[in-house]
A and B are shown apart, each in its own frame.
Chain A
Amino acid sequence: MTANAKGMFVDTTLCTGCKACQVACKQWNELPMEDESAVREHRAFTANSYDNTGHLSATNWRHVKFIEQLEDRDNGRWLMMSDSCKHCEQAGCLEVCPTGALYRTQFGSVDIHQDVCIGCRYCVGACPFGVIEYNGRTGRVNKCILCQDRLEGGSGTACAKACPTSSLTYGRVDDLKAMAAARVRQLHAQGKTDAYIYGWDLGNTGAITTGPNKGQVVKDIEVVGGLNVFYLLLDQPGVYGLPSAPQLPQRNMIPSAGVALISAAVLGVTGLAAFRRRRMEQNA
């Protein structure tokens, strides 16, 4: 892990879905609304939930998810989660970037050199979380950059600053991990054994107490070398739209190239054989 890495702890139990973080992000980073095609294709405004963005995109670097778990008309719960780039310790986007446009900052976050990005969109397919997205306006990719400019100025992230419930906390990742561990212990002591950490394994284990997955065991998950923006969750990762075992894209590169090499060798032999054993038309 980057020494003194900065990040965020997202305590979903404290999120009220107010979207102040979304607004702060849009405002500080001067992010426009979705482009016209997104409006036309109903990707810009879902209008089917209190969730008004639907997904992270090149112009929505933060997205408050509303997950409705309704048992019947009177019983159920909303799980809310403010999502963004996780600034993975092993970031798929950064790992495959063919130009060095994506880079690790001095704060351990993943930023983009906009002048180096060629808009190949390879990182879009490589991110296991579906975070980074192509910006049709600029011909380059965009995502949360952990308010790099604010961090250089000594301020925290705009979203965390705006969060009225401290669901988002900015700080040193080591400090945040300690805070997260304490918070999980506190929730477990209150009987909320659902709580666990997604991003780092801090040793917590629990069981889901409500909802469709009631009774299922949950435990801390460390993914892709750890997430500098990590989460306290109350249900399985899939419920929040998070992969339970995200992987790095380059896991496939050598095996795929190896199989391709074998195939190429077989094709080479087949081609050579074709010129030796010609299949003539019988009556030509």
Chain B
Amino acid sequence: MITSYLNEPHWANWVLSLEMYIAGLAAGIFFFIALANTTGRKQDREVGAVLGFFPAPLMLLAAILLTFDLGEPGRFLNLIFTSPSATERPGPLFLNPNSPMNYGTYVILVFGLLTVIPFLDALRHTGLLPMGGRVVEALAHNPVGMFICAVFALATGSYSGVLLNTTNQPVWSETYLQGALYVAFSALGGFAAAGIAADRMGTRETAGAVRTGLMGITLVAGVLVALLVGNLVALGSAQPLIGALTAFVAPAFWVGAVGLAILYPLVVTATGARLRLANVNVTSLAAVGALALLGVFAFRWSILHSALAAVAH
């Protein structure tokens, strides 16, 4: 473990976790919309249209939280434009090829702009868009356009993970898997949100697609989590995730990320199990989706805190 000589970074953890979660969720939902709009049926597009209301406001919220975290909105400009003080780098656009945060800034900027498309399409779908409906529809249902959007969505989903990987912090940097994990949990969040929408809207066919998607994505996420834990155990660095060293990290990881986000949706979608608790159908797609969303947040939170916890001890 690489902990003894490191300072404990005093980050505003809940803000960071929330930022990562919200941006990842926006990316996951957009990923689902891109698939539904291009490969799906009419029902799928209707669900996609409703979900289209979410990515843009979520990205806006993530930006507000980031601003709150960093303090000054004006400082964001230094991520994009070379400051006159930083004369060592060629301008006018700033790019440090070794910094994933730089690449990520551009990716998120483009993705943030792209989220306007499904938002406008959602307005069009509900009759609230006063003009340009045809252009919006053409953009939102163009296979090439949606493929590009899906690429940016998945890149945004993986960004925070690659960011954590490119550090010298325990757990974060000790495998190459964080980017893959983050994108998998991002897609999982998107399909979980789609599950809630499909269930509430009563769209049977879309619900079927969501079930298949959830099963496949939870399998991918499960394999990646197993690889992560296995790698960390082999390196002797798994303590923050598997031990009692930290009060909440291990339970959040196992109960939230593994239990709620992976195992529960996997079992329910694979077996078609049915269960009612206190008159609530906890195996409905909406319930599975809601619990999975909670689990995705637990994943982000526990991974972020695992390194901090390791350094703190």
Asked whether A206 is an interface residue with its Cβ less than 8 Å from the other chain, the reply is no
CA distance A99 to B184 in the complex (A): 29
CB-contact partner of B11 in A121, A263, A277, under 8 A: A121
Residues of A with Cβ closer than 8 Å to B? 37, 43, 55-57, 92, 95-101, 103-104, 113, 115-116, 118-122, 124-131, 133-134, 136, 139, 238, 241-243, 246-247, 249-250, 252-253, 255-264, 266-268, 270-282, 284
CB-based contact B39/A263 at 8 Å: no
Q: Can you list 9 pairs linking A and B with CB atoms under 8 Å apart? A: A96-B96, A116-B86, A120-B101, A257-B162, A267-B154, A270-B187, A275-B36, A284-B204, A284-B207
CB-based contact A275/B40 at 8 Å: yes
CA distance A203 to B61 in the complex (A): 56
CB-based contact B99/A263 at 8 Å: no
Q: How far is the CB of A135 from chain B (nearest CB, A)?
A: 10
B interface bracket (residues with beta carbon within 8 Å of A): 35 or more
CB-contact partner of A278 in B83, B164, B212, under 8 A: B212
Asked whether B209 is an interface residue with its Cβ less than 8 Å from the other chain, the reply is yes
Complex interface: chain A residues within 8 A of B71 (CB): 119, 139
Where chain B touches its partner, the secondary structure class is helix
CB-based contact B168/A101 at 8 Å: no
The closest CB in chain A to the CB of B76 belongs to A118
Binding-face segment, B52-60, B111-119, B170-178: B170-178
- In the complex, the number of residue pairs spanning A and B with C-beta atoms less than 8 Å apart equals 231
CA distance A279 to B265 in the complex (A): 13
The closest CB in chain B to the CB of A104 belongs to B88
Knowing A98-B105, A271-B32, say if A126 contacts B168 (CB, 8 Å): yes
CA distance A270 to B154 in the complex (A): 13
Asked whether B70 is an interface residue with its Cβ less than 8 Å from the other chain, the reply is yes
CB-based contact A134/B216 at 8 Å: no
Asked whether B251 is an interface residue with its Cβ less than 8 Å from the other chain, the reply is no
Complex interface: chain A residues within 8 A of B272 (CB): 281-282
Interface of chain B residues 44 through 94 with chain A (CB within 8 A): 44, 70-72, 75-76, 78-79, 82-83, 85-86, 88-89, 94
